[in-house]
A and B are shown apart, each in its own frame.
Chain A
Amino acid sequence: MSIIDHLPVLLIIGPIIAALIILAVGWHDRRLCYPVMLLSITGQFIASLIMLLQVIQDGTIRYYLGGWAPPLGIELVIDSFSGFILSTIMLLALLAIVYARRSVEAEVPAEKIVSFYVLIQLLLIGLVGMTITGDVFNLYVFLEISSIAAYTLIAGTRSPRSYVAGFNYLIMGSIAAGFILLGIGYLYVATGTLNMAEIAMLLPASYELSTVHAAFLFMMIGFSIKAAFFPLHLWLPDAYTESPSAVTVIISTVMAKVSVYAMIRILFTIFTTAYIIESFPVTGFILLIATIAIVAGAILAIAQNDLKRMLAYSSISQIGYIMFAVGVANQIALEGGLLHILGHAMMKGCLFMVAGLIIYRMGTSNLLELRGVAQTMPISCAAFALAGASMIGIPPTIGFMSKYYLVLGAFEAGYWLYAAVLLIGSLLAVGYIWRFIEIAYFGDHHGDGHQCASPEGPLSMIAPMVCLALLCLILGIFVEIPMEIIGPAAMILLGGA
C-alpha cells in the first residue's frame, strides 16, 4: 500500500504528532510553534483535496484502522458527503489559521500562546475525526476531544467574561455529550454493533422498539445542542462573542459545520429516511423548528448592538436554513442544505474575520462606536458587504444559490407556506446586515478626511478575509463546481446510489 492509501489515518495521526512537536518546540522558542501548525494544517488540507478527488473518481474510501475489519475494528469512511465536509472545513481551518497569527498575538497572553496553538490543533483533530469516522462510539470520542479543546479556547482571552462563556459552554456541551453517549448506548443495545453502516443495516428490524426511539431522541437533542439548533442555542452567543477572534472564526465555521454534519449523518445514514420519514415521522417537526429558527435568529440578530454578537445570532438563523433542508428531505432541498453548509461557512467565516479585524484595529466591536468605519477600513467593509450580500441571498452569490435550491425543494415537496416563510425570513437578514452597512458607509457624514494612508491591518489577516469574500461570489457564479460533489452526497443521504 502506498502512502496515499493511508491518507485517512494520517489525517488524524499527523496532526497529533504535530501537536506534540508544537509543545516541544514551544518550550524552546515560542515563535517556532506557528510554522509547525501551518505546515500540518496545509498538509491536512492538501490530503483532504486528494481524497476528495479520489472519491469523485473511484467512489467511497473505506479504511480499516490497523487492518481490522468492522465490527471488530474502527472504520474510517470518506464518501462524497464526508469528503465534501472535510475539504470545506480544512479550507476554512487553513484560512482561519493564516488569519489567526496576528490576531492571537493581539488577544491572547503571550505565555499562553503555545498551549493555545496546541489546543487549536487538538480541536481540528477532533473535528476531522468526527467527519471521517464510520463508527458511532469513535464519533463520540472525537466529539469530546474537540469539545474539551473548544471549552478551553473560548476561555482564552484576558477578559473574565470569556471564562463565563467557556464555562457555560462546558456545562451545555457536557449535557449534550451525555445525551449523545446515552443514545449511542441504546443503539448498541438494540443492534449489538457500533459501526454506522452495520447499525443502519440492522436497525430496520427494531424500528418499533422504544429503545431505538429513545436513542434517536437523545442523539437528536445532544447534537441539536452542539449545533446550536434553536431553541437549544443558548450557549452560542456568548461563546462566539467572548472568545478570541481567531477562535470565533474556527468554531463558527469549522466546529458548527461538523456538528451539523454529525447530526445529518445520524439522521440520514444511521436512521435513514425510512425511519425519520415513515416509522418515526420527525421531519415535519424539524421543518417547523427550522423555520422558527430562521426567523427568531434573524430577529434576535437585528436587536444586537455588538457586531460579533449580531453575527452569532445570525448563525442561529443560518443553522435553521440547513435544518430546513433536513426537514424537507428531498434531493434538491438537501443539495441546497449541503451547499449552505459550504456557503455559510465561507460567509460567516469572512464576516467574523471582518469583526476580528475591526476589533484589532478599532479596539471595539460595538456597532454604535463604528460610525464611518468604512473610511478607515475600506477593504474590510467591502468584504463585509460582499459576504453580507451572500448572507441575504443576493444573486449571484453562493447564499442565493443555496436559498434557490431550498425554496425549489420546498416547493417541489409542497411545503408552500414554509417556503414563503423562508423567503420572507431571508429578508430579515437585510435587517442586520444593512444595519452595519449603513453605520459603516453612511454613518459619518462627510467624514473630514479621516482617510488612513496606512494599511488597515496585517496582510495575513486581510488576505484570508478577502479570499473568503471573493469565494462567496465565485463559487456562487460557478456553483456547478461544488454541486458536482454535493449532488452525489445528497443522493447518498437519501439512500440512493
Chain B
Amino acid sequence: MTDIIGILPAVTIAIPLLASVLILITGRYENLRESVTIVAAVAMLGSVLAMLPSVLQGNRITLSIIPMVPGGDFALKVDAFGMVFALTAAVLWLLNSFYAIGYMRGLKEHAQTRFFFCMAVAIAAAIGIAFSANLLTLFIFYEILTIITYPLVVHIETPEAMKAGRKYLAYLLVGGIFLLAAVILTYLLTGTTAFVPGGFLEGAGSPLVLQILFLLFMVGFVKAAWMPLHAWLPAAMIAPTPVSAFLHAVAVVTAGVFGIVRIAGWVYGMDLMAALGLGVLLAVIASFTIIVASLFALTEDNLKRRLAYSTVSQLSYILLGVSMLSIAGMTGAMAHIPIHAFLKITLFFVAGAIIVSAGIESISDMKGLFQKMPVTVLMFSAAAIGICGLPPLAGIISKIYLAIGAVEGGMSSLLIVIIVSAVLNAAYFLPIIYTMIVEKPEREDALNGVSEPPLTMLVPIILTATISLLIFFFPTMPFLDLIEIAIGEIIGGVMP
C-alpha cells in the first residue's frame, strides 16, 4: 500500500467542469451540446478506469492542490472506498446522460442547457466528494452539490416545484451548517481533518463531546435521508426523472451515505464507535427508517414517490451495516452503495420511460402495461426483485453480508429488521409487477398508442439491469475487491 502522487484525480473532476462551460457556450446547438455531455461522460469514465488498476493494487493516488484555511488543504486522495463511489457515479452518469437526452427531448423540456450544465457541475462535485482527502474538501464539494442540484429539482418551475425546492434547500443547507460546525470542531479537537484509515479521533475529547460531534455529523449528512430528516427527498420527486435518477442513484443520497461511512471508518474508526455506543444509536436510527419508510412506500400510488420512500428505506441498510461495526456489516454497507445505485436507477429509468411513452405516473393506471412495453416492464421487474434481495440480481449480495454482520455482531434483533423489511419490500414491489403484467386495463383503449421508449432511454435501462445481473455473478470485480482493500485499511491491514 503506497501513496502515489498523480494528476488524474484532478483531471477527473476537471473534465465535467470543463464540459459545463462548453455546454453553456454550445447551448444553442442542441446536438453539439449533447455531444459535449457524452464526450465528457466517456472521458470521465475513462479517467476513473485509468486509476482503477492502481487502486486495486492497494495504492492511493493523492494530490494536494492548494493550501486553504487552517483545517485542511484543498486536497484529493483516491482510495479504494472513494473508488467504489466514483466508479458507480461515473458509469451511471454516462448511462444517465444518454437517458436524459432521450427524456428531455421526448418531453420537449424547456431550459435544457441549464439542465445539462447543472448536471455536469453536479457530477464534478460528486466525484470531488468521492476523492476528498479531508473533511474540508469533502464539505466544499458537498455544498456545491447542494446548490447546483437546486435548479435541477425546480426544473419545471411550477409553484409546487418552487415549494419543493425551498424544502430541498432548507434541509440540505441547514444540514450543511451542522456539517461545517462538525468539521471545525474536529479540527479544533485534533488539529487536522485529513481522513486516516481507522480514524483519528481516539482520545481527542471526552466521550460526550465525541458523541455530540457524531450527532453533528449525522445531521450534516442529511443527504443520507435518514428519518425523520428525510422529507426533502420525496419532495424532490417533482424533478424530471433523470434528475430523480441522479439524486437517488448517481450522486446526492449516495454522497450522504458515503459521508457517514467515511466518518465511521476514517474519522472515528470502528473501535471508537463501539466504545462510544454510537453503533447502537446508528442501529436505532437505521432500523426505524428502514421499517417506517417501507410502510410509507406501501401507501403511495405515485410510482416515483413510492420509489423515493424505497430509497429512504434502502439507504438505511447502509447505515445499518455501519452500525454493526463488524467486517461483514461494513462490507455489506459499502457493497450496498453501488448495488442499490444500479438497481434503483433502473427503476427510475423505467418510471421515466413510462412517463415519456404513456404519460402516466400512478401505479393504478399502469394495468396491462406489459403488453405495450414488454422490455421496459421486464427490466423493472428484474430490478424490483433485485431490491427485494432475491437472486439472481445484485441485491442479495449486500443483504447476505448484512445478515452475516448482524449475527456476527451478536445483534440478532437487526436480523429481524432485515427480514421484516424484506417482506415489506416484496409487499410494495410485487403488486406493481402484478399490476403491470397480469392485470388488464379497465378500458380497452386506455393504453392506445403506447410503445417502448426511444432507444436512448431503452438501452440505458437494459444496461443498468444487465450490470446489476453481472454484479451478482461477478461481485468481486471490481466492487468487492475494492471494498476488501478499504476494509483492510480501516482495520489495519488484517484481513480474515
Chain A contact residues, CB within 8 Å of chain B: 332, 389, 392, 394-396, 400-401, 404-405, 407-408, 411-412, 419-420, 423-424, 426-427, 430, 434, 438, 441-442, 445-446, 477-480
Contacts and interface: CB of A to CB of B under 8 A. Distances in A.
B191 to A, nearest CB: 12
Nearest to B69: A404
Given A411-B188, A423-B181, A394 B70 contact: no
A442 B147 CA distance: 15
B162 A446 contact: no
Nearest to B154: A442
Contacts of A407: 180-181, 184
Nearest to B155: A442
Interface string B140-171: 10011001000100100110001000100100
Contacts of A445: 157-158
Interface in B167-186: 169, 173-174, 177, 180-181, 184-185
Nearest to A442: B157
B187 interface: yes
B162 A404 contact: no
Contacts of A477: 66, 68, 74
24 contacts: A332-B70, A394-B143, A394-B144, A395-B139, A395-B143, A400-B140, A401-B69, A404-B184, A407-B180, A407-B184, A408-B69, A408-B71, A408-B187, A408-B188, A423-B177, A427-B177, A430-B173, A434-B166, A438-B162, A442-B157, A445-B157, A446-B110, A478-B66, A480-B66
A332 B71 CA distance: 12
B184 A408 contact: yes
A401 B177 contact: no
A442 B143 CA distance: 21
Nearest to B147: A394
B157 A396 contact: no
B187 A479 contact: no
B496 interface: no
A389 B147 CA distance: 9
Contact of B68 (A420, A423, A426, A479): A479
Interface residues of B, number: 29
Contacts of A427: 173-174, 177
A124 B173 CA distance: 39
Interface of B: 66-71, 74, 110, 139-140, 143-144, 147, 151, 154, 157-158, 162, 166, 169, 173-174, 177, 180-181, 184-185, 187-188
Given A408-B184, A442-B162, 19 more contacts: A332-B70, A394-B144, A394-B147, A396-B74, A396-B140, A396-B144, A404-B69, A404-B184, A408-B70, A411-B184, A423-B177, A423-B180, A426-B177, A427-B174, A430-B169, A441-B151, A442-B154, A480-B66, A480-B67
B482 to A, nearest CB: 28
Contact of A401 (B68, B143, B144): B68
Contacts of B68: 396, 401, 477, 479-480
Contacts of B71: 404, 408
A396 B138 CA distance: 11
Contacts of B174: 427
